[in-house]
Amino acid sequence: MIRTADVVIIGGGATGASLAFQLACRGVTRVVVLERRFLAAGGTGRSLGIIRQLYPNPETCRMVLRSLRVFQNFRDLVGGESGYVGCGALIGVSTAMRPTLEHSLEIQREVGIRAELLKPEELARVEPRINPSGLGAVLYEPESGYGDPTAVTLGYAGAARDRGVVIEQGAAVTEIRVEGDRVAGVATENGERIDARVVVNAAGLWAGAVAALAGGALPIVVGRHPVFIVKRGAAFGPPHMVYLDLAGGAYVRPETGDLTLTGSLTEDESRHPMDPDLLGGEAGFEEAAEALERTSRALPSLADCRYQQGYAGAFDITPDWMPILDESPLRGFYVAAGMSGHGFKLCPAVGELMAELITEGRTTINRAPFRLDRFAARRPGGSFVGSFLGSS
């Protein structure tokens, strides 16, 4: 059977669901989301959901602040729950990184983000359990914290459905149809054909494979990022804040039931490519031991935590660790992928920006840092830590 739609979105993760909602809110009702497995089956369902607001450029700072406001008011603005917990976030840097952090703080303030620079000795007033040695400064973001990526995706999907969007799960796109210089629609593994003049690649970790269906390529590497779950000891006390130790290379994010999610901030994940279909596989004991050593250096009272489990996560990483939000060279075929580990905290603003781009051809937030052609203009080099501060 051949159907028609105004927009087909490939991928039912946080990005695809947010965009579907935003299009429907702008009156584009003939929207079909095709998800090859189930909603949030990809990177979204494995995400830590950390919301921090430190970025090296004003555009991404604006997007994360806008997204934070949506998470904080999700029930009213979208519907459903975002799971937002505003426990606060601390970001520790070395003395060498301090000048870059100060510059980023200026950008945060210009944009309206609440943030404060602490000296290491001032940490005790905010979170005395963090080890200040090796730190040159600490950024405190009182409104940051974490949310629930699966709940957010389901909230957006439910609200989009209420506005007429069709969401099909178990519907893998296997063909992208092209007519002349523009996209003409898709076909699925179920033998369905949907004709549409706009198709969006929101396939996250599989975005490269989806681009290839249209004969294109994206500068995206799928890089492994293992996550470890530990149980805090009874003596630990109340839950900690989100802490990102850029100097020591560790992070912690509290979870319910005395659990902490932790991992490393030292690796450049793009040097550890992973088959995205291995997402969620078990992590090795040795890599867990190495990461937990760094974690307990950052937060010594976690030294007696009990290891529960580890799993392989992965990021869709661009060369500069910033998303690609653009129309591809094939007219009508858009890309919202390469989220580089930021796709949850940015998903409300990404949905808005992409919906503006598709319906109006322009965006409120300057799209320059997210354009596809930026990689041709310069030789980008990035890292996860660099996506906080930029290069010094």
Ligand X SMILES: Cc1cc2nc3c(=O)[nH]c(=O)nc-3n(C[C@H](O)[C@H](O)[C@H](O)COP(=O)(O)OP(=O)(O)OC[C@H]3O[C@@H](n4cnc5c(N)ncnc54)[C@H](O)[C@@H]3O)c2cc1C
The single residue among 11, 145, 208, 249 that binds ligand X, judged by CB under 6 A, is 11
Cα 266 → chain centroid: 18
Interaction between residue 15 and ligand X (CB under 6 A): yes
CA distance 263 to 258: 17
Determine if 35 is a binding residue for ligand X (CB under 6 A). Answer: yes
Taking CB under 6 A as the binding criterion, the range among 42-50, 97-105, 112-120, 231-239 that sits at the site for ligand X is: 42-50
- Residue 49 binding ligand X, by CB under 6 A: yes
**Sites for ligand X among residues 318-347 (CB under 6 A):** 339, 341-345
- From the CB of 263, what's the least distance to ligand X, in Å? 8
**φ, ψ at 386 (rounded to 5°):** -65, -25
Total residues contacting ligand X by CB under 6 A comes to 40
Among 68, 111, 138, 205, binds ligand X (CB under 6 A): 205
x/- letters, 137..176, toward ligand X (CB under 6 A): ------------x----------------------xx---
Return the residue of 63, 138, 210, 214 that touches ligand X, per CB under 6 A: 210
Structure tokens at 383: 């890292």
Angle between helices 149-162 and 14-25 (to 10 degrees): 30
Closer to ligand X by CB, 48 or 330: give it.
48
CB-CB contact of 165 with 4 (8 Å): no
Binding residue for ligand X, selected from 32, 48, 199, 335, defined by CB under 6 A: 48
Nearer to ligand X, 101 or 157 (CB): 157
In 3D space, the residue among 157, 131, 52 whose CA is nearest the CA of residue 388 turns out to be: 52
d(CA 174, CA 209): 10
Annotate each residue in 295-314 with x if it binds ligand X (CB under 6 A) or - if it does not, as one string: ------------------xx
* Residue 16 near ligand X by CB under 6 A: yes
Helices vs strands, H then E, count in the chain: 11, 20
Q: Say how many C-beta atoms besides its own lie within 10 A of residue 353's C-beta.
A: 24
Query: In degrees rounded to 5, what are phi and psi of residue 70?
Result: -70, -45
Q: Quick one: 101 or 207, whose CB is closer to ligand X?
A: 207
Cβ nearer to ligand X, comparing 98 with 183: 183
How far apart (Å, rounded) are the C-alpha atoms in residues 154 and 147? 13
Strands (E), 256-365: 259-264, 306-317, 324-327, 333-337
**Contacting residue, 5, 7, 41, 292, with ligand X by CB under 6 A:** 41
Mapped onto helix, strand or coil, the DSSP state of residue 333 is strand
| Sole window of 43-51, 97-105, 118-126, 137-145 interacting with ligand X (rule: CB under 6 A) | 43-51
Q: Residue 158, class by beta-carbon neighbours within 10 Å (0-12 exposed, 13-18 middle, 19+ buried)?
A: middle
Minimum CB distance to ligand X, residue 302 (Å): 18
Burial class (CB in 10 A: 0-12, 13-18, 19+), 96: exposed
CA distance 202 to 180: 23
- Residue in 173, 159, 142, 131 with CA at minimum distance from that of residue 294: 131
Selected from 56, 185, 204, 382, the binder of ligand X by CB under 6 A is: 204
Looking at the Cβ atoms of 122 and 161, the one nearer to ligand X is 161
Q: Which stretch binds ligand X (CB under 6 A): 44-52, 81-89, 130-138, 353-361?
A: 44-52
CA distance 188 to 109: 47
**Location of structure tokens 């291995």:** 278
| Sequence letter at residue 352 | E
- List phi, psi (to 5°) of 185: 150, -165
- To the nearest whole angstrom, how small is the minimum distance from the Cβ of residue 13 to ligand X? 2
Q: Is 46 in the site for ligand X (CB under 6 A)?
A: yes
Region 227-246 residues binding ligand X, contact defined as CB under 6 A: 227
Tokens (6 digits) for 164: 């007429």
Only segment of 37-45, 74-82, 94-102, 292-300 that touches ligand X (CB under 6 A): 37-45
Cβ distance to ligand X smaller for residue 44 or 296: 44
Q: How far is the CB of 265 from ligand X (least distance, A)?
A: 11
Q: With H, G, I as helix, E, B as strand and everything else as coil, classify residue 40.
A: coil
Q: In the complex with ligand X, which residue's Cβ is closer, 323 or 332?
A: 323
Interacting residues toward ligand X by CB under 6 A: 10-16, 34-37, 41-44, 46-50, 149, 172-173, 202-206, 210, 225, 227, 313-315, 339, 341-345
